Each structure stands twice: as C-alpha cells, then as structure tokens.
Amino acid sequence: MKAVAFTLAGLLGLLGLVFIAGNQGQIMRVVVGLVLFAAAIALVVAVRLQPKIEQRNIVQNLHLTGDVSLEQMQCRKCGGKLSDESVKVQGGAVFVACPYCNASYQLEEAVKW
C-alpha cells in the first residue's frame, strides 16, 4: 500500500516536472506542473503521517515469571490445580478464580508481557 502511494507520488512529481520543463511561455502548464508536484508531496506526507495500524493481540498471553507455569499453578486456598480457564487477565493483573472452592483473588506474581 505504501509502495503504491510512493510510486504514485513519484509519477505525479515526474509529470509535474514534464509539465514545467515543457513550458513554452504557457503559465497554465507551470501551474499544472506545480499542482502535480504539490499533490505528490502531499501524498508522501500523508503516507508518512499515517499512523501505523498495529494489530495488537487483544487476547493477552500469560507469561508468568519464574518457574511458575499454568500447569503447576495451584489454588492458594484449597490447593486445587488451576487450568488456564480459571486464570484471567484484566487490566494487566492476573486474576484467579478457583473452580473447586470458588475462591477468587488477584495473583501477585509479576507478569512479563
């Protein structure tokens, strides 16, 4: 998409040059050439200013520090084995909802993103 815009800008600029270079006292050709040039520059600027659309993963992956892995995670209250379904990430914090004892608490384990 960017390459297309730059190619187009290049063509417009070139066309503008041709118009200006081929000028034989015709003010309109200069004007058209300048307009084409301006359009080329505007196109490049527009592409440059375009914010990068980053596709961020909305579903955040859990990366627990240390040797704690989801398989080894146990409920703090009852020691029941927690599956990834009982661990949720909200606002960068890890929340545990134990399916065995219905305990729910925030995991204090620091999370690496």
Q: In what order do the strands lie in the sheet with 93-97?
A: 87-90, 93-97, 104-107
Q: Is 78 in the site for Zn ion (CB under 5 A)?
A: yes
Task: Specify whether the CB–CB gap between 12 and 37 falls below 8 A.
Answer: yes
Residue number, 29 or 81, with CB nearest to Zn ion? 81
Residue number, 62 or 75, with CB nearest to Zn ion? 75
Residue number, 34 or 78, with CB nearest to Zn ion? 78
- How many chain residues interact with Zn ion (CB under 5 A)? 8
Please state, in angstroms and rounded to a whole number, the distance separating the CA atoms of residues 32 and 20. Answer: 8
Task: Specify whether the CB–CB gap between 95 and 87 falls below 8 A.
Answer: yes
Stretch that binds Zn ion, among 45-53, 61-69, 80-88, 89-97 (CB under 5 A): 80-88
Rounded to a whole number of angstroms, the minimum distance from the CB of residue 79 to Zn ion is 7
Task: Specify whether the CB–CB gap between 50 and 78 falls below 8 A.
Answer: no
Stretch that binds Zn ion, among 9-17, 39-47, 70-78, 89-97 (CB under 5 A): 70-78
43 three-class SS: helix
Q: Where do contacts with Zn ion occur on this chain (CB under 5 A)?
A: 75, 77-78, 80, 98, 100-101, 103
